[in-house]
Amino acid sequence: MKQFALMAALLAPVSALADVDPADWDAVLTEAEGQTVYWNAWGGSTTTNDFIAWVGDRVAEDYGVTLEHVKLTDTADAVTRVLAEKQAGENEDGAIDMIWINGANFAAMKDADLLFGPYAEQLPNWAFVDVDGKTVQTDFTVPVEGYESPWAMAQVVFIQDTADLAEPLGDMNAILEWSAANPGRFTYPQPPDFLGTTFLKQALVDLLDDPSVLAEPATDDNYAEVTAPLWAFLDELTPTLWRSGRAYPATGPAQLQLIADGEVDLAVSFSPGEATAAIANNQLPDTVRTFVLDKGTIGNASFVAIPYNSSSAAGAMVVANFLMSPEAQVRAQDPEVLGYGTVLDVDALPAEDREAFDVLELGIATLSPAELGTVQAEPHPSWMTRIGDDWMERYGVAR
Amino acid sequence: MTRRFPPLLPALTLLAMLGPVAAGLWGTLLPAFGHLPAAGISGPSLDPFRDLFAWAGLPRAVLLSISTGLFATAISLLIVVLVTAGWSGTRSFRVLERLLSPLLSVPHAAAAFGLAFLIAPSGWVSRLFSPGLTGWERPPDLLIVQDSWGLAMTAGLIVKEVPFLLLITLAALGQADAKRSVTVAQALGYGRLTGWLKTVFPRVYGQIRPPVYVVLAYAMSVVDVAVILGPNTPPPLSVQIVRWMSDPDLAMRLEGAAGALLQLALVVGALAFWRLGEVIIARLGRRWIAAGGRGRADPVVARIGLALGGASALVVLLGLGVLAIWSFAGFWGFPDALPDQFTWRNWMRFGPGTLDALGETAIIASVAASTALILTIGCLEAEYRYDLHLSRRGVWLLYLPLLIPQTAFLPGLQTMMLGLGADVGRGPVIMAHLVFVLPYVFLSLADPFRAWDARIGTIAAALGAGPDGVLWRVRLPMLLRPILTALAVGLAVSVGQYLPTLLIGGGRVSTLTTEAVALASGGDRRAIGVYGLMQTGAALVPFTLALLIPAMVWRNRRGLRHG
C-alpha cells in the first residue's frame, strides 16, 4: 500500500497553470521560481553552448529557475517533437519549454498554433528593444506578433583568410571571379543547412537589381524569372568550388574548420563576431578578417519561442526576459564570448549599461557597426524553401 | 522436473522487443500510404511513393545503401575469418585480439571522425609528409572523405565491424571445438588456415550468422557514420530519410515514411541476397573441401589477413590518437604535424559537461543491459527446460528490431509512448534502449548457450543437482565468458544509442552520445575529441572486464578459458 501511494505521488501530473499572464510580471516571477526550463537550442557551436550555460547560472541565481540546454542538431527536431506531442494529446506538459528559433521553423509553428503567447512585448526588458532600428517584429517578413522574443541580431559577413585572400570582395560577381581564378578555395555549407540557404539568398539579393520583389511570397509566375540570375551564377560558380562542388561542409563551424585546415580561404558567416571568437578559441588562424558586400548584406534576429504545451512557461519567460537584459546582451556581444549583435537600442539605455556596451572591444576580426553597412531584409520564407528545394534538385544529387 | 522457472519470461522478452517495433512500424506505415492526420492529410494514397521515386537522387542513394552495406559486411567478415583461421592460438592473435577488443567500444561517430581526420587531404597523414615529401603548402583539392562511391564510409564501417565480428567469433569458438579439429586437420597435412576453414569455419559461421546479418542491416542503414564519411550529393538513403523526417514541412514526413519502407525492403532484399551467397559458397566450399587441397598458399594468405586486421586496428587507434591530440590542441593549422601549443583549456571547458552525461549514460546502460541479460538467460533457460523451440520464422522476430532501420519505427514509437503518457525521462529511454539492447544480448548469448553440451547437465542431474542447481552451479559458470561478452555488448549498444535517446527522451536525457553527436554537427574537433574519448572510456571498461574476469576466475581451469 505504501508503495502504491508513493507511485501515485510520483505519477501524479504536476499541476500546470497554463494560462499565466505575461503582463502580471510579479505573478510570473513567483510562479517561475523552482521551475525547470528545457531550452532546445542548436548545440553545434561550443561558444553558444558556453553562453547558454552562463545564462543558466544567472537565472538560477536571480530567479531560482533551472535552465537545461537540450542540444539539438537541427531546430526542426524540436518542431517535430512539439507536433508529435500535440498529435498524442500531450497538451499540458510537453518536453520543450523554449526553442531557439527563427524563419521557416517559426512560420511553421505559428501557422500550426504550436506557440505560447503573445508574450514578448509584455516582458519588462522589451522596453529597451530597438523596435524601430532592428527587424525584431518581423521574422523573415512573417509578423512576430509577440509569439517569440528576440535575443540576438545576426548579419551575413564573409570570413577571409588574409594569408591567401588579401582584399575584400565587393559583390557576388567578384566572388565568382576570384573563385574561378582560385579553384577549390571557396565553399558554403550544404543547403538545407540554414547558413547554406542564407548564402543562396544573399547571392540572389546581391545579384538582383531590385530585390524588393523578395519581400512578397514567391509565386509560380515570378519565381523562375526572379531566380534565373541565381542559377546562372551557381552554374558558373559550382565547378570552381572546393571539391568541385561534389561535397560540401555540413554546417558553418565545419566550414570554419576548413579554413583552419587551409582547405579554403573564404567562408560565409551569419555572425559578425564569430571569426574573432573563433580566433580566441584557436578554431581559426589569427590572419582571418571579415568583410561585407558593397551593397550590404542580409540581417535578421534570433528569437526564442515557447511551445503552447510548456509546463514552465513562466520560467521560460523569465529566461527570455533575461536574454534581453543589458547584462546578457553585453555578454553576448563580447567578441571573446559570442560576438552576437544586440537587440537593444543602446543609446536609450541608462548610462551605466550604455557604458558597458561602449567599452566592449570589437576584436581583431569584427567590423564596427558603421563598417557593417546596410542591413538587407530577409526574403519571404517561401523563397528560401523553394530555392533550397531547387538547389537540392540541381546540385544536391549526383551529376 | 520442478516448474519453478517461469515460462513467462520468453513472452515478456518478445513483448519488450517487438511491442515498440510493431507500434512504431504502424506509425510509419500509415504516413507512407498518405495518412497523417496531424498534418491534415488523410489517405490512403500512393503519392508518397510517387514523390519518393520522383526524387532524382534516389537511384544513387539506394545504390550507396546497398554497396556500402554489402562491401562493409563482406570485407569485415573476410578479415575476421582470415585472422582467426590463420592465427588463432598464436601470440600474434592474442596481441591483435587485445588491440581489437577495446575498439568495439569506440563509438562509431568517434571512429569515423578519427578516420576522416587521418585520410582527408588536410588530414594527419598528409600533414606528416607535408610539405617535406609532398611539397604541399596547402592541402590538395581531392575528394577523399565523402567520396561519391562511399569508399571512405565503407572503410569507416569496416574498421568498426571487424572488432565486433571478432569478439562474436571468439565467443563462438569455444563451442566449436576448434583446437582439436585444427590439430587433426594439421596431422592430416593441412595448413593451419586451410584446416581451420575446412573444419571449423562451417560450425563457427553457423553460430555467428545472426550477428553477421545484423552487421549487414546496420551497415545499410547507419546514419552517423554516413553523415561524417559518406557522400552528401546525394547522401545514402538512411540520411535522406532522417532529413525528410525532420523537415519542418510535415508533408515531407510522408515521403520519409515511404523512404523508410523502401529502406526496409532493401535490407530484406540484401539479406536474401546474402543468404543466396551463403548457399553458393557452401556448395563451392564442399567441393573445395572434397578436393583435398592442403593449402600451400596458407602462409601468404594468413599474413595478408593479419596485415588487414592490424591495419584496421591501427586506423582506429591512430584516429583515437588524433582525437586525443585535438582534445589538447591550441591552434593547429596545415601543414603542421602537431598543434602550435597544447592546452588543458578544452578539457576545462568541456570536462564538467562530460561528467554529467557520463553519469546518465552509466545508469541507463547498466539498467538496460542487465535487464536484457536477465530476460535473455530466462528465455534461453525456459527454452531448454520446457523444450520450447522457436520456429525458423519465430527466430526472425528476434532480429526485427535490428533489421528494421531505426529511422523507420522510432518516430512512430515516440508517438506511442506519448499516447501512453510514458514519454520523457530516464525510464522510457531505458525501455527504448532495451528494444535494441535485448536482441544484441540475445544474439550474443543464444548460440553459445544453446551449444552448451546438455550431457553435462545430465551428469550434474545424475549427481543430484536440480534444474536450478544445474543452471547456477554448472551452466552459468561454464558460460561466464559469453555471458560477460553479451553484457558488455549490451552496455556498448546502449552507450552508442543516439536516435532513441533523443526522440524518446524528448531531448531531456543527455548521454555522452547525444552530446557528442550534437557537437559533431558543429565540427569543433576539440569538443569532439573530449567527448569521443570519454565515450570510448565508458564502453571500454566493460569489455576489458569481459576479457579479464574469465581469465582470472578460470586461471586454474584451462578448458574453460575460451568457453
pLDDT digits (tens, 9 = 90+) for A346-389: 888 999 999 998 888 878 888 887 888 888 888 988 898 899 88
Q: Write the residue in A80, A244, A396 that is nearest to B57 by C-beta.
A: A396
The candidate with the shortest Cα–Cα distance to B196, out of B213, B180, B179, B182, is B182
In this complex, the residue of B146, B246, B350 whose CB is nearest that of residue A74 is: B246
Interface subset of B 110-169, CB within 8 angstroms of A: 120-122, 138-139, 141-143, 145-146, 148
| Residue with cell string 551449444 | B451
Give the chain A residue nearest B149 (alpha carbons).
Answer: A398
Q: How far is B141 from chain A (nearest CA, A)?
A: 6
**Distance between CA atoms of B229 and A1, rounded to whole angstroms?**
55
Residue A62, pLDDT above cutoff 90: yes
Q: What is the b/e burial string over A6-36, where b = at least 16 CB atoms within 10 angstroms of the residue's CB?
A: eeeeeeeeeebeeebebeebeebbebbeebe
Q: Average of pLDDT values for B468-480? A: 89
Q: Do B522 and A81 touch (CB under 8 A)?
A: no
Domains B1-34+347-563 and B59-325 share a fold: yes
Tell whether B272 lies on the interface with A, counting CB pairs under 8 A: no
pLDDT higher than threshold 80 for residue B208 = yes
Chain B residues within 8 A of A108 when measuring between CB atoms = 248-250
Residue A308: is its pLDDT beyond 90?
Answer: yes
B70 — pLDDT class (breaks 50, 70, 90) = very high
**More confidently predicted of B125 and B109:** B125
SS3 A272: coil
Give the minimum alpha-carbon distance from A34 to chain B in angstroms, rounded to a whole number: 17
Lowest mean pLDDT among A268-277, B33-42, B234-243: B33-42
Q: A263 and B139 in contact by Cβ < 8 A?
A: yes
| Interchain CB contacts (distance < 8 Å): A and B | 191
Question: Closest partner residue to B518 among A43, A83, A283, by Cβ?
Answer: A43
CB contact under 8 A, A80 and B120: no
Q: Which residues of A touch B414 (CB under 8 A)?
A: 84
CB contact under 8 A, A247 and B143: yes
Report yes or no: B54 at the A interface, CB cutoff 8 Å: no
The pLDDT of residue A3 is 44
Pick B547 or A264 by higher pLDDT.
A264
Average pLDDT over residues A97-123: 91
Restricting to B residues 209-238, those with a Cβ less than 8 Å away from any Cβ of A are 227, 231-234
Contacts of A263 in chain B (CB under 8 A): 121-122, 138-139, 141, 334
A 26-55: CB under 8 A from B: 38, 40, 42-46, 50
Residue numbers of A between 302 and 361 with CB closer than 8 Å to B: none
> Is the confidence at residue B99, as pLDDT, over 90?
no
Q: What is the pLDDT of residue A100?
A: 94
Greatest CA separation for chain B:
78
Q: Can you say how many angstroms the Cα of residue B46 is from the centroid of all Cα atoms in its chain?
A: 34
Question: What Rg do the C-alpha atoms of chain A give, in angstroms?
Answer: 22
Q: Tell me the chain A residues in contact with residue B145 when contact means C-beta distances shorter than 8 Å.
A: 247
Quick one: pLDDT band at residue B122, thresholds 50, 70, 90? confident
Mean pLDDT score of chain B: 85
Q: Residue A44 — pLDDT band, cuts 50, 70, 90?
A: confident
Supply A368's cell numbers: 564596427
Write out chain A residues lying below 8 Å of B411, CB-based. Answer: 80, 84
CATH architecture of B59-325: Orthogonal Bundle (1.10)
Low-confidence winner among A10-14, A318-322, B261-265, B417-421 (lowest mean pLDDT): A10-14
Closest residue on chain B to A245 (Cα): B233
Percentage of residues of chain B with pLDDT beyond 90? 26
DSSP assignment string, A278-324? HHHTTSS-TTEEEE--TT-EEEEEEEEE-BTT-TTHHHHHHHHHHHT
**Domain layout of chain B by residue ranges:** 1-34+347-563, 59-325
* ipTM passes above 0.90: no
pLDDT in tens, A239-262: 999 999 988 988 888 898 899 888
Give the pLDDT confidence score for residue A117 in this predicted structure.
86
Containing H/E element for B418? helix B406-419
Average pLDDT over residues A206-222: 91
Determine the 3-state secondary structure of A362 from DSSP: coil
**What distance lies between CA B505 and its chain's CA centroid?**
22
B40 touches chain A (CB under 8 A): no
B469: contact with A, CB 8 A cutoff? no
The pLDDT of residue A122 is above 90: yes
- For residue B20, give the nearest of B439, B389, B484 by alpha carbon: B439
Q: Which residues of B touch A190 (CB under 8 A)?
A: 232-233
What pLDDT is recorded for position B563? 45
Residue-range domains of chain A with CATH: 16-151+302-362 (3.40.190.10), 157-299+374-395 (3.40.190.10)
User: What pLDDT score does A129 carry?
Assistant: 93
The class of domain B1-34+347-563 in CATH terms is mainly alpha
Percent of chain B clearing pLDDT 70 (strictly above): 92
Asked if B168 and B240 touch (Cβ cutoff 8 Å), the reply is: no
More confident residue, A139 or A399: A139
- CB within 8 A of B246, min separation 6: which ones? A74, A76, A77, A80
pLDDT band at B39 (very low <50, low <70, confident <90, very high): low
Smallest Cβ–Cβ distance between A88 and the set B232, B415, B517 belongs to B415
- Residue B398: pLDDT above 90? no
Indicate if the pLDDT at residue A11 is higher than 50.
Answer: no
Shortest distance, CA B360 to any CA of chain A (angstroms):
14
Please tell me the predicted confidence (pLDDT) of residue A15: 36
**The pLDDT value given to residue B97:** 82
Q: Which pLDDT score, from 0 to 100, does residue A9 have?
A: 40
Range with the poorest average pLDDT among A221-230, B11-20, B145-154, B169-178? B169-178
pLDDT at A278 over 90: no
Q: Nearest chain B residue to A190 by CA: give it.
A: B232
Say what the pLDDT of residue A320 is. Answer: 96
pLDDT-derived band at A4, boundaries 50, 70, 90: very low
Contact B304, B82 (CB under 8 A): yes
**Count of CB atoms situated within 10 Å of the CB of B497:** 24
Residue B51 above 70 pLDDT? yes
Residues of B in contact with A262 (CB under 8 A): 122, 138-139, 333-335
List, for residues B486-503, the tens digit of each pLDDT value.
Answer: 998 899 889 888 878 877
Q: Do A398 and B234 touch (CB under 8 A)?
A: yes
Rounded CA separation A118/A22 (Å)? 8
Distance CA A264, CA B122 (A): 11
Quote the CA–CA distance of B376 and B17 in Å, as a whole number: 11
Most confident of B91-100, B237-246, B257-266, B404-413: B257-266
The shortest C-alpha distance from A261 to chain B (Å) reads 5
Segment B329-348, tens digit of pLDDT: 988 888 888 898 899 988 98
Interchain pair A250, B139: CB under 8 A: no
Whether B60 and chain A come into contact, CB under 8 Å, resolves to yes
Residue B325 has pLDDT above 90, yes or no: yes
Mean per-residue pLDDT, B97-108 = 77
Give the residue, B367 or B97, on which the prediction is more confident.
B367
| A 379-398 near B (Cβ less than 8 A) | 385, 392-393, 395-398
Using pLDDT thresholds of 50, 70 and 90, give the confidence band for residue A14: very low
- For residues A187-213, give the mean pLDDT: 92
Segment B199-222 mean pLDDT: 88
User: Is B67 part of the contact surface with chain A (CB cutoff 8 Å)?
Assistant: no
* pLDDT at residue A283, as a whole number: 87
- Among the partner-chain residues B233, B423, B514, the one whose CB lies closest to the CB of A396 is B233
Instruction: Answer whether B419 sits within 8 Å of A50, measured CB to CB.
Output: no
Asked if B427 has any chain A CB less than 8 Å from its own CB, the reply is no
Select the more confidently predicted residue: A117 or A156: A156
Q: What is the pLDDT of residue B349?
A: 84
Gap from B304 CA to chain A (nearest CA, Å) = 33
Q: Are B507 and A262 in contact (CB < 8 Å)?
A: no
Residue with the larger pLDDT of the pair A273 and A32:
A32
Q: How confident is the model at residue A304 (pLDDT cuts 50, 70, 90)?
A: very high
More confident residue, A88 or B23: B23
Buried b (16+ CB within 10 A) or exposed e, B281-310: eeeebeeeeeeeeebeebeebbeebbebbb
Q: Is A253 within 8 Å of chain B by CB?
A: yes
Instruction: With cut-offs at 50, 70 and 90, classify the pLDDT of residue A12.
Output: very low
pLDDT, tens digit, 9 for 90 and up, residues A174-199: 999 999 999 999 999 998 888 999 99
Output the nine-digit C-alpha cell for B254.
Answer: 510522408
Average pLDDT, whole number, for chain A?
A: 88
Question: What one-character-per-residue DSSP string does B86-105 give?
Answer: HHTTSHHHHHHHHHHHHHTT
Report pLDDT for A67. 95
Q: In degrees, to the nearest 5, what angle opens at C-alpha A253 toward C-alphas A247 and A254?
A: 30
Between strands A98-101 and A36-42, the pairing is parallel
Q: What's the pLDDT at A372?
A: 86
Mean pLDDT of A303-307: 96
The size of chain A, in residues, is: 399
| Contact between B60 and A95 using a beta-carbon 8 Å cutoff | no
Instruction: Provide the residue type at B88 as one letter.
Output: S
Query: What residues of A are in contact with residue B252 (Cβ under 8 Å)?
Result: none
Judge: B227–A250 Cβ closer than 8 Å, yes or no. yes
Instruction: Give A-chain residues touching B335 at CB under 8 angstroms.
Output: 262
